[in-house]
Structure 1
Amino acid sequence: MEPRLSTTPFGRRSLTLAHVASQASAKTRPPEKAVHKWNIFRAICTAKNALGVPERALAVLDALLSFHPETVLTGEGLIVFPSNHQLGLRAHGMPMATLRRHLAALVDA
C-alpha cells in the first residue's frame, strides 16, 4: 500500500488530523440544530483572540456568509461557490494573495 499525502483545497496545504476530526464532529451534530449566521459571526468576532483568527480573516468570513442566501444555518447546503474576484470585492477589495492567506487561516481555525 502506498502512503498518500492528503491536502486541503486551499493552497495545497497538508490536511491535518484536526481538520478531519472537526469535520467528523460537525457531522455528528443533531439534525434539528439550527443557528442564526450573524449571531455565530458575532460570537466568532468576540472570541477571535482565543480562536487565533485575524481581523482580516473575519472580513473574509463576513463576505462568505453574505453569499449564503439563508440567515438560519442548519448544516445542510452550507457550501457557497463565489469566485475569488467577487469574494475579494465583498471583502473590501482584498488582494487575491491576502484573500487566500486569510481563507487558510479560517480553515486552520
Structure 2
Amino acid sequence: MPDKICGCSPESLRVSPGKIVAVVTMNGQHDLTMPELICEACQATWTAGVDDLNRSYFWLATLQFATLYATDVFFSFEEMKMAAPGLSCQAFLRMLNQPTVRFGRI
C-alpha cells in the first residue's frame, strides 16, 4: 500500500475493507478483502490495481478481481510436473483444496 495518496497529512488516511476476493495459495483458499485507503480530509481513495498485485506476487484469475492466485502456486505446479510428469491438473487442484477443507474453510 502507498504511504500517501494525496497531499494531505498521512494521519488523515484510513484503511477500510474493500472488495471481497478469494486468494488461493499453497495453503488453500482464503476469503479476504482488498484494502482501500481513504483520505478523511479530501476524500481521495486508493485501491490496488493489477500492477500492485503483480508486484506483490499475486496473479488475477478474473478481470473483476474476484480470485487471486499467489504465484507460488504456479511454481509449485511446475516443480511437481517436473518431478511427476503424470500428475494431472485436477489432482493438483484437489491437493490445493485439502488445507482449505482441513482448516474448516469452504
TM-score (structure 1 length as normaliser)? 0.25
Give the helix-richer structure, 1 or 2.
1
- Greater RCO structure (CA 8 Å; 6+ sep): 1
Give the strand-richer structure, 1 or 2.
2
TM-score (structure 2 length as normaliser)? 0.26
Q: Which has the larger radius of gyration?
A: 2
